[in-house]
Copies of this chain bind each other. A is one copy, B any other.
C-alpha cells in the first residue's frame, strides 16, 4: 500500500486505492491515505467520481478533515459539510489558522456559522470574528490574526530569549512585527536580520521600515501583485489608524494568483470557477444551460439577419456555403484581441492613456490579416467555384469583419469594466454576437449590392 505515496498524481493514487480496496486492505488504505498531505487528499477527492468520493471521505481521519475541507473547491466542500452538524464542523476546523477558519465559515449558512462560533473559546472566537469582519476578497479577509510582535526598544538578545520560550511560531513566520505600546505598526524584523546582527543591538536599530503596512481594505488581487513584485513571504495588515491587525502570508497569495488565473480560463468558457470534474449532473446541466441559452439567443440574432436576405440567398444559394467562414474568422480574430485586452486590464497595464495606441495597433493587425485572408478566400471561390462575384463579396466582407473584430475586441471589455460587468465572463459572448451579426450582414449586403454587377 505504500505504493500510494509514490504515485505522481491524484488519478494514479485513486487507482492504487481502488486496487487496495478490492484486495480488502481497507485498514492499510486508511493509514496510507491519512499520511498524505491534506492538499493531496483534497486533490484526490476532486478527481474521484461519485461513490468512490464518499468512501474516501469516510476514510479521512477527523484531525485531517479541516485541512482537507479548506483545500477543496467550494462546491465539493458544500456537499460534504451539508452532512455535518455544528459540533462535527467545530471539531474539524479547530486546529486551522484563523484566516482559514474564517474562509471556511464564510461559505456556510448563517445559522451554522453562529452555532460554530458559539462553540469556540473566547480568544478563538474574537480572532475569527476579526477576520470575518472584512470582505473575503480584501487583505483583511485573507489575513491571519496570529502574529509574533516585538517592541522597538528591546535588544535582540531579549528577542532571542523570548523566542526560545515559544514552542513554535506560526507558519510562514519570516519576520517579527515591530509595534508600539499601542499596537501601532512600526516595521518588521526579518529573522535573517535578527540572526546576522549583533545581539546587543536594539530591535529599532535593526528593523526594516521599507514595507508599509497593508491597509485591511486593499483588494486581494492588489495584495497578490504586491507580494509578487516585492518577493514577500508575509506582510503586516493594518487598519486605517495604522494599528496592526494581522498578517497576510504567501500561501494565501498563491491561492489568489491561482484562482485569479483560473477565473479567466473558466469564465471565458462560461464555467463557474468552482465547477469540479464530477459535479452532479443536474447542477452542471443547469449552470451550462444558462450559458447555452444565452448563446442560442445570440445565434438567433444572426439567423434573423440572414433571413432578411432571403431573396439574395435564393438567387445565389452558393453564398450559403461560404458565408459562415466570415463570422468564424471574425470570432477568432476578435477573441485574440479580447484575450489580450482582458489580460492587460487585469494586470493594470491598460487605461485611458494607451488605449488609443493599442486600438490602432490592433486595427492595423486586423487590416493586414483581413487583406491576406480576404485575398485567399477570393482565390478559393474563384478557383473552386468559378465564381469571381462570390469571391469579391466574401473577400471584402472578411476585411470588414476583421476590422469590426478589432474594434469590439478592444472596446467591449473596456466598456464592460466601466459598467462593472466581468469582461472575462461576458466579453466572448457579446464579441461573437457582434462578429456574427456584422459578418453575415456584410456578406449578404455586399452580395445584394455587388452580385448583380457580375451577372
Give the B-binding residues of A (Cβ under 8 A). 8-12, 14-15, 18, 37, 39-40, 43, 46-50, 160, 163-164, 166-169, 171-174, 191-192, 194-199, 222, 227-231, 233, 250-251, 253-254, 257-258, 260-262, 264-266, 268-271, 275, 277-278, 281, 284-285, 288-289, 291-293, 295-296, 299-300, 302-304, 306-307, 310, 313-314, 317-318, 320-322, 324-325, 327-329, 332-333, 335-336, 338-340, 343-344, 347-354, 357-358, 361, 364-365, 368-369, 372-373, 376-377, 380, 436
Contact = CB atoms under 8 A, between A and B. Distances in A.
Given A40-B229, A261-B262, A317 B310 contact: yes
A380 B307 CA distance: 14
A317 B318 contact: no
A299 B324 contact: yes
Contacts of A197: 164
Given A47-B349, A358-B49, A336 B277 contact: no
Given A313-B317, A339-B266, A281 B364 contact: yes
A365 B281 CA distance: 6
A313 B444 CA distance: 16
Copies in the complex: 2
A347 B43 contact: yes
Nearest to A307: B321
A318 B50 CA distance: 45
A451 to B, nearest CB: 15
B329 A303 contact: no
A171 to B, nearest CB: 6
Which residue, of A172, A195, A229, A352, has the highest number of chain B Cβ atoms within 10 A? A195
B228 A254 contact: yes
A169 B192 contact: yes
A15 B196 contact: no
Nearest to A332: B295
Contact of A281 (B195, B260, B327, B368): B368
A160 B171 CA distance: 21
Given A233-B172, A303-B325, A322-B303, A361 B11 contact: no
A9 to B, nearest CB: 3
Contacts of A172: 231, 233
A130 B304 CA distance: 65
B321 A306 contact: yes
Contact of A351 (B12, B288, B299): B12
A194 B242 CA distance: 31
Contacts of A163: 195-196
Contact of A354 (B11, B231, B265, B318): B11
Contact of A11 (B230, B307, B350): B350
B271 A329 contact: no
B372 A289 contact: yes
